Amino acid sequence: MVTAKIDNALQVVALNDAAAKAGLVVEMPLATARAMLPALKVLDADPVADGNTLNAIAAWCDRFTPLVALDGADGLFLDITGCAHLFGGEALMLAKVCDALSRQGFIVSGAIAGTAVAARALTRHAHGRVVACGGEALAVAPLPIATLGADEKIVRGLGRAGLKTIGDVAAREPAEITARFGAEFTFLLQQALGQGDAPISPRKPAPDYVAEKRFADPVATNDVIAMTLSSLAAVLTAAMERHGKGARLLEASFFRTDGVVRTIAVEAGQPITRPDIVDRLFAEKLDALADPLDPGFGFDLIRLSALRTVGAIPVQHGFDTAANEAEDVNQLVDRLAARIGRQRIVRYVPQETHIPEHAALAVPAQEGTGTATWPAPVRGEPPSRPLRLFERPEPIDVTADFPDGAPAQFRWRRNLHVIIRTEGPERIAMEWWRHREEDDVEPDEFTRLHPPQPNTEVFKRDSRVLTRDYFRAEDRQGVRYWIYREGIFEREVASFRWFLHGLFA
């Protein structure tokens, strides 16, 4: 027996057949249950473990239909529209699902009906019922109202009114039921009677394209698994080609005979239209798995799904190597992403900002470059920005200045650098429109990079002006620096600090 604390009291939430035959019922206080059976074995409820188990069962049910939804903490909805004939009909399919789960140690009750609510009601009353579409009202009429899954207050209210079964409630006028118990219950009743329906909410979206192979004898060798994936890739890409589609996200599902399901996904930056590319990506992914694919006693079903597809325009390739470089790079990015992770392969794209550290944004390389392009360098002109920027600007101690305010010599990392020529200043102000007027806000990037000194007064954001004056400087050894002077202006009084932001090549 399983108990949980409800309303500050331990109550029975689940029990086995032996406890039920002894007279115990769900929602009975634990003290009453112990008084009836002193030798009762009690376990504490574990909702997290129950949820994980239910999700594992739902994943196993994906072998029958891709539309599987959770129904509370102990139920599942399977939309088998168009799937039953693959398993010999509805009755044989229901028997196959329930028998397989029973062999895994679960107590199962199942039913098939035209609506989800009718199937739920039949499942809670009797096991194995198969009701044809249109026969829901007659099938659920003798069932107790509690099988609908309505609120307990509504069930008690209907009981006090003398309405014990679904048929009793259905015999009353809908307006009368709605006025007393609400439109939501009336809609629930109509679904149970087959007079209305609402779609289930699958735990995973249905894939765009699916190809699968079932095995009479489970397979466990890597060669057979690779050959199966290759054949499924050929079938899947051919189906997508007929509709002018290519896959951006593929998922391979491996269903073990003991009910364990393993899924492996690969993503591509460009639409995949060839099976050999699918083979390479999954080969990289399988080789790089930290937790290798364990076939156990074998896989009896392998499925390849295209979860996300886009339009694919056929491109004719020539013999020019340079013309195919972009495609080769994209394929390399996809293979690296499959092996070491999508987030570890990045490219830098420009942003519309004049703040140097925000000018480049690292995005996954598979997302593409977008429409923004880097500015082309001016021929014969030195670069205005260094190729190497420090992650954080490093403070320097300027010991001498030129007449124009540029640093003449400074100390950085305990070394003294004497400047022989400078260019600048280039003034950059902070983006005031990105700052909010409130004082109690998270610090912006500029404040995080340049925290105030312990003896420095902290000014309110709406009363200070922050600027940077950048200089390109070269020392006696020919090393070129990108230095800026940070200015804080408060009530016409300025204070400055110097930082080294980057090095030119």
Mean pLDDT for back-to-back runs of 10 residues, the chain (505 residues):
86 85 86 87 90 92 91 90 89 92 89 92 88 90 89 88 90 89 90 87 90 92 93 95 93 92 91 93 90 90 94 74 76 90 87 84 78 75 83 92 91 94 88 56 48 39 67 93 82 76 89
Residue found by looking up tokens 């470089």 in the block: 325
Indicate the domain borders of the chain.
Answer: 2-39, 47-192, 209-314+322-338, 388-503
pTM, to two decimals: 0.72
* DSSP 8-state code for residue 107: -
Full DSSP string of 156-182:
HHHHHTT--BHHHHHTS-HHHHHHHH-
Say if residues 126 and 111 touch (Cβ distance below 8 Å): yes
What is the four-CA torsion angle of 36, 159, 15, 6, rounded to 10 degrees?
-90
CATH domain 209-314+322-338 topology: Dna Ligase; domain 1 (3.30.1490)
- Amino acid in the structure at residue 480: R
Which numeric CATH code is attached to 47-192?
1.10.150.20
Closest CA to 308 of 249, 366, 263: 249
Q: Using CA of residue 120, residue 122, residue 128, residue 130, what is the dihedral sign?
A: negative
- Amino acid in the structure at residue 101: L
Q: What H or E segment, with its residue span, contains residue 484?
A: strand 480-490
What is the C-alpha to C-alpha distance for residues 72 and 201, in angstroms, rounded to an integer? 12
Q: Which two tokens stand for residue 409?
A: 């010599």
Beta partners for 297? none
Q: What was the pLDDT predicted at 369?
A: 59
Strand locations in 379-453 (E): 388-395, 397-401, 407-412, 415-429
Q: What was the pLDDT predicted at 104?
A: 87
Closest CA to 341 of 261, 265, 252: 265
Full DSSP string of 198-213:
-----SSPPPSEEEEE
What is the C-alpha to C-alpha distance for residues 503 and 366, in angstroms, rounded to an integer? 30
Beta carbons within 10 angstroms of residue 468's beta carbon? 21
β-strand pairing of 9-14 with 415-429: unpaired
Name every residue whose Cβ is closer than 8 Å to that of residue 162 and which is 6 or more positions away in sequence.
168
The helix/strand/coil state of 443 is coil
The helix/strand/coil state of 222 is helix
What is the C-alpha to C-alpha distance for residues 375 and 373, in angstroms, rounded to an integer? 6
Strand locations in 72-181 (E): 75-78, 111-112, 129-130
Cα 236 to its chain centre, rounded Å, is 24
Q: What H or E segment, with its residue span, contains residue 95?
A: helix 90-103
The full 3-state SS of 228-252, as one line of letters, equals HHHHHHHHHHHHHHHCCEEEEEEEE
Q: How far is CA 31 from CA 7, 35, 246, 422, in A?
A: 15, 6, 62, 86
Residue found by looking up tokens 């009793």 in the block: 168
Beta carbons within 10 angstroms of residue 384's beta carbon? 13
What is the C-alpha to C-alpha distance for residues 407 and 164, in angstroms, rounded to an integer? 91
Write down the number of H helices and E strands in the chain.
14, 20
Beta partners for 483? 471, 500
